[in-house]
Amino acid sequence: MTDNTITQRRRTRLDRQFDQIRAREEAGLNSHARGSRFVRKFMNNKLAVFGLVVFAIIVLASILAPILTPWDPQKINLRAILKPPSWEHWFGTDKTGRDVFARVLYGGQISILVGLGSAVASAIIGVVIGCYTAYVGGWLDTIAMRVSEIFMSFPQIILVLLLVAIAGQSLANLMIIFILTGWGGIYRLARARMLSLREEEYVQALRSFGLSTPLIAFKHILPNALGPIMVNVTLSTAAFILQEAGLSFLGLGVPMGTPTWGNTLNVAQDLRVLQNNWWMWLPVGAVISLFVLSVNFIGDGLRDATDPTQQG
């Protein structure tokens, strides 16, 4: 067998391999492979999987609260004041006879709504403004940057006091405060990612085809910046839940009549409760800690899975 024949066979085999790769790309299998790689990287992170399981359990338990407990979280029962944990009241009762387990479950609905809702709303505002203004640049980008600095310069406790004094204490006011003080960080992150990506060659090619600015910014550039943004949303969710718990603990958050994790933890201000009635603050404190840790673990897993330098 001659050398030319061997070379021709090798070339034919390589051509077939290239044809197969091209066919897979045309069939969209490469995107499926990237998605599978993302899932594989995330699932290999044991802490991230643990966080996802804990997160799912707490969220589902809060949603299914009417099924998991027969007790009303706001119903006062003077015959069951300060009862320790039992088969009837799993987490005991508080000073007015309300079931602590029911307050933890129903309180999770409000606390998770405040944390996750505020984080998502902040992310939407920050990403939309950051992506568009950074891509356009000029005076619009400068104005957006100055506005974000103004909102980020206000201490959150000052905004809480102002809104409580003007409009009264409410769940909507607390979420407005979190959104006003939280969109600036995500805006800066989206802006930085957009500034680094807008000079890429594929963006220049899209411009040469005459595509509109919003189409290029949101459809073609934004997907390449979603990794850090998703991580930031998880961290913001954990931070907002802790802030709601802290403000409600001080009596400045959600009104005391509404069951939240922070309002349930409010009883821990009394030293006698801390010493003698541990079931009134320890279970809700443990749930808050577990939920915040689970969200942070999920954020770490998303960061590792979306980091191109760690893709295997």
Task: Sketch the domain layout of the chain as residue ranges.
Answer: 1-44, 48-310
Query: What does residue 270 show for φ and ψ, rounded to 5 degrees?
Result: -85, 125
Q: How far apart are the first and last CA of the chain?
A: 41
Average pLDDT over residues 64-82: 84
The answer to whether 122 and 130 are in contact (CB under 8 A) is no
State the Cα–Cα distance between residues 297 and 303, nearest whole angstrom: 10
Average pLDDT over residues 288-312: 78
What is the pTM (predicted TM-score) of this model? 0.78
State the Cα–Cα distance between residues 99 and 180, nearest whole angstrom: 35
How many Cα atoms sit within 13 Å of 27 on the Cβ side? 9
pLDDT tens-digit map of 135-185: 888 888 889 899 888 888 877 777 777 777 777 778 888 888 888 888 888
Query: Cα 40 vs. chain centroid, distance in angstroms?
Result: 21
How many Cα atoms sit within 13 Å of 50 on the Cβ side? 9
Residue 242 Cα distances to 135, 245, 288, angstroms = 34, 5, 8
Longest dimension (CA), the chain: 100
Q: What is the pLDDT of residue 310?
A: 53
- Asked whether residue 229 carries a pLDDT value surpassing 90, the answer given is no
In this structure, the number of other CB atoms found within 10 A of the CB of residue 293 comes to 16
- Asked whether residue 42 carries a pLDDT value surpassing 50, the answer given is yes
User: 153: buried, middle or exposed (CB in 10 Å: 19+, 13-18, 0-12)?
Assistant: exposed
pLDDT tens-digit map of 238-264: 888 888 888 887 777 788 778 888 888
The sign of the CA dihedral 123, 124, 126, 131 is positive
Architecture of domain 48-310: Orthogonal Bundle (1.10)
Residue with tokens 């807008």: 198
Query: What does residue 28 show for φ and ψ, rounded to 5 degrees?
Result: 80, 20
State the Cα–Cα distance between residues 14 and 30, nearest whole angstrom: 19
Dump the DSSP string for 52-95. HHHHHHHHHHHHTHHHH--S-TT---GGGTTPPS-SSSTT-B-T
Report the percent of the chain where pLDDT is more than 90: 10
State the Cα–Cα distance between residues 89 and 99, nearest whole angstrom: 6
